[in-house]
Each structure stands twice: as structure tokens, then as C-alpha cells.
Amino acid sequence: MAAQVESQQEVEAAPMRAQPPVQWRELGALLLLVVLADLTLYRAYGFAGYAAFFLIAPLLLWIGSPRPRLGRAFWLLAIMVVLLVAKLLWCGSWLLVGCGFALVVGLAMALAGLPPYVLEAGVFASQTVLAGYEGLVHYRRSADQLGHMANPRLGLSFFLPLVIFLAFALLFVVANPDELAMLGDWLARAVTTLHDWILSIAPTWLEVVIWLVVAWLGIGLLRPVMDKVATAATARKVGPAGPAMLYAPWRNTLITVIVLFAAYLAFEFYTLWFREIPENFHYSGYAHEGAAWLTVALALATVVLSLIFRGRMLADDRLPRLRRLAWIWSLENLLLAVAVYHRLFIYVGFNGMTRMRVVGLFGMTCVVVGFVLVVWKILRGHDFLWLVRHQLWALALAVFLFALTPVDPLVHRYNVDRILAGDPVPSVQISVHPIDASGVPVLLPLTECDDPIIRDGVRAMLATRLDEAEQRAQQNEKHGWTTYQLADRQLLDRLEATRADWDRFENLSDREAALERFHKYAYQWF
């Protein structure tokens, strides 16, 4: 026993990282964070719960942070959180939820005075396990200090006995509901009501574990052990002055790819820009798969340029000549990017717009931005770490903007306009792809389409979506406010208001027959 006490004293006496003092507002914010996670995540049933969590959690981290730093990064991320919450309340997705958790980590980094780089954010998130433990130890060591900060006559001397009394009293009520009810009718009703209420809010063991995990990680976010981020990007490392050994190989490489790209661009513009598209044109191979491979070529060009202009090459006297070759190749790469966009829009012009084609446009734009960052790196003399950090920022921003974009309304507004203009081909995208609640109202003009197969098919689809919307509304009413979605509410209102347009498709056999005709008709353009 004495050995155990001595060992514990040695652990307590071990030096630990200096931490700011604990304050009651930090403990209160941490407690509220646990309650918030329980109400909006564990006990929630929909995206409105996540929206509430992402809106309130940053505020609690701000309140609880021992030394908050409200720089530009914090306010920029806070604006992004507000936009994300608005989209979650309108028409949520799991991609938005993932972005929300990433933004919370970034905000915690900004509050700690750390720049929210993407790779470092992953490290910061992982350190919360160690930081949470260290913070708990610091909390225990600060218990006496917190006791001195409180006024026992006005605070603990009243609230501590009250809290403990209520805890034991509620346990007795739960343990003896029938026996306590024998004391009288009015007491029986009160005890029964109290008993049912306690059981309704009583946590499960899993819920208690989640409380502990949230508290642990919350402490790690408030008191990170990650004090600083490597600042290697601010100091460019240049090799010793003199000729670089790889100058000639890289020069010859640039000359080679310049000639290759020039020949290919001539072929690309001749075959796909300055002649009519033949009837048997392989849209999937050229416009779809071809655009993907050309995007890979642009990404590879980005890697090659970043490898050339680094290290000892930056101190070579012949660097200006190499840069001139790089500018020529960069111009060709931008022309190649224009060619990729052209291929994507050829595919869109063939049979309409889809979610994945929007993903392709975002991805291609992200690659172009990455290439521009490489050019900027060469101009300004930044090092490779600077490039990696900013390219990851570009990728993260592209994902965030895609998550915010109302993809289905934009996609199907384009398709509907083409159909109403007399081109039935984009109807295949309405037939074969799922459409979320925000995109369905865009289809309403097709109920007056001149094409009878499309008109009846869309009416049958809307009749089905109305049934689904009514069932979802009933389920959401049972589950409460966390399931709220503005898009679902708007869809139900719009469909109920125009219900007369598809009355005859309330009959399931007529509905299925119309849908089958529509699917077969549209599939010819798949």
C-alpha cells in the first residue's frame, strides 16, 4: 500500500506542460458542450440536430477557451459554419456533417492561435486524446483553487446539499414507485408522473460513455498540447549556389513536354472544336473518360513543375531560362484545362446535367487552382510545404463549396429547360438518378410538357413523392425538431397545392404503368 501511495506521489510530482488556470466558465462551457452533444447528436434523428450542434459548439468553445484568440481565421471559419448550418436546415447531407466536424476542429485551432492547415488539423484532432488526459489531470490539481474561488456562503453551501438531496430523492422515487404511491392519490399521480419523466430522460450506459468521450475530447480542444505548427514554409531552403546537377534533365524534359502538348492541343482543337460531332460519337469515352484522364494529366503536370523548382535548382544562375520554358508549358496546361471543360460540356450537351458532372466541374476547377498555385510558388519562391498546405486548402474549399451548392435544383432546372424547349434527351437524367427534396419542385413545369410520355411519367413520379413526403412528415412529427428540413416542408406544400394535376395517378396500377413507359422511353439516351 505504501508503495502504491509513493508511486502515485511520484506521478503527481512529475513535471507537466504549463497550462493556464482553470476557471468556472471553462467548466460550465464543457458541461454545456456535453449536454449539447447529447440533445443534438445522440438523441437527435435528423440534420437539424447537427445544425444546432455546429452553431452552438463553436460558441461554447469560445466561452470555455482559457486564452481565446479571435483572429481572421476564426471569423472566416465562423462565417463558413453559419453557411453550413443554413444548408443543413434547408437540405442536409452527410457530406455537410463531415464538413461541420472539420470546421469545429479548425475553429478550435484558430482559438488556440494555430493556423488551420488541413494536414495539421488532422494532427490537432488526434492530439485531443492526450490533451484531454492532461487537461483532466490539471482539473484535478486545480480543484482546491476552484474551491477558493467560490463563495461557500452564497454558492456551494446552498447548491451542493440541494443537488445531492435531489439526486438521492430521484433514485428513491425510481426504486419505489408503487410503495410511495400508497401515501395518497395526489401523491400517487405526482410520483407516477415523476417516475415516468425520470425514466424518459434516464441515460443508457452507451449514452454515459458518449458523455465521457465528448467531455474528454472537449477538454482536448480547449487545452491542446499542440502549441505551434511547423513554420518551415516561412523560410525557403535553397541549396548552395552553383550549377544544379538536374538542370539539363529538367530543361530537356520541359522542351519535350512543350512539343508534346503543342501537338496534342492541335489534335484536340481540330477533332473536337472545329468540326461537327459525328452521329456515332463515343460520348462516354471521349467526353467522360477522356476528360477524367486529361484532368489526371493536368495534376501530373502540377507535380512535375513543383518538383523542378525546388532545392538547389533555385540557386542555379540558369534559372531564368528554365522559368521561360515553364511559362510556355504553363500556358499549354491552361489551354488543356479549357479543352477539359469543353469535353465536359460536350457530355452535358449530349444528355443533360447530373450530380457527377457537377463533381467533375468542381474537381477540374480544383486541379486548375492547384496548377495556378504552383505557378505562384515559382514566381514568389515559396517552398514545397507552402504549396502542399495551400493546395490542401483549395481541395477543402472545393469540397465545402460543393456541399453548400444546391446541386439538384441547378442540375434539373437545366434539364427541365431543355425538355420544355423541345429536347427530350435530358429526361433520362430525371428517370435514372435520385433527386432530393430540394430538386423535386423544379420538375413541376414538366406536368405541362408537350411530350405525353414525359408529362405522364413526371406526374406519376410526383404522385409517388407526395406519398413519401406525407409519410416522412408523419415520422418527423414523432421524432421532433431535430428532423426539420425546410426543403421537405416546401416540397410537401408545393405538391399538395398542385395535387389536382396528377389525381388519376393516385391509382397505383396507372402510376406504375406511366413510370414504366417513361423509364423505357428515356433510357434510349442513357
pLDDT at 29: 92
Query: What pLDDT score was predicted for residue 233?
Result: 42
* 3-state DSSP assignment of residue 283: helix
Instruction: Give pairs for 271-274: CB < 8 Å, separation 24+.
Output: 272/339, 272/342, 272/343, 272/346, 273/342
Beta-carbon contacts of 173 under 8 Å, excluding residues fewer than 6 positions away, are 180, 191, 194, 195, 198
Looking at residue 235, what is its pLDDT? 45
**Residue 59: partners with Cβ closer than 8 Å, 6 or more residues away:** none
Q: Please, which residues have CB within 8 angstroms of residue 82's CB and are 6 or more apart in sequence?
A: 55
Biggest alpha carbon–alpha carbon distance for the chain: 99
The 3-state DSSP class for residue 202 equals: coil
Domain regions of the chain by residue span: 17-229, 247-405, 408-525
Containing H/E element for 487? helix 486-497
What's the confidence (pLDDT) of residue 10?
Answer: 46
User: Could you tell me the three cell numbers for 238?
Assistant: 535553397
Distance CA 81, CA 404 (A): 11
pTM for the predicted model, two decimal places: 0.81
| pLDDT value, residue 1 | 45
Distance in angstroms (rounded) separating the CA atoms of residues 27 and 145: 13
Query: What cell numbers appear for 157 in the block?
Result: 453551501
Nearest Cα to Cα of residue 250 among 333, 171, 306: 306
Distance CA 432, CA 522 (A): 9
d(CA 443, CA 461): 10
DSSP states of 13-36: HS-----PPP-HHHHHHHHHHHHH
Q: Do the beta carbons of residue 428 and residue 352 sit within 8 Å?
A: yes
Q: What is the per-residue pLDDT for 387?
A: 83
Three-state DSSP class for residue 218: helix
User: What are the distances in angstroms from CA 38 to CA 28, 51, 104?
Assistant: 15, 14, 17
pLDDT per position in the chain (526 positions), as tens? Answer: 444 444 444 444 444 566 778 888 888 899 999 999 999 998 889 999 999 999 999 999 999 998 898 989 999 999 999 999 999 999 999 999 999 999 999 999 999 999 999 989 999 999 999 888 888 888 878 766 655 555 554 455 555 566 666 666 655 655 555 555 555 555 556 656 655 555 566 667 788 888 899 999 999 999 998 766 544 444 445 555 557 778 888 888 999 999 999 998 888 888 777 666 655 555 555 555 667 777 788 888 888 888 888 777 777 788 888 888 989 989 998 888 888 888 888 888 888 899 988 988 898 888 888 888 888 888 887 777 888 888 889 989 999 999 999 999 999 999 999 999 999 999 999 998 999 999 999 999 999 999 999 999 999 999 999 999 999 999 998 888 999 999 999 999 999 998 888 888 888 898 999 999 999 999 988 7
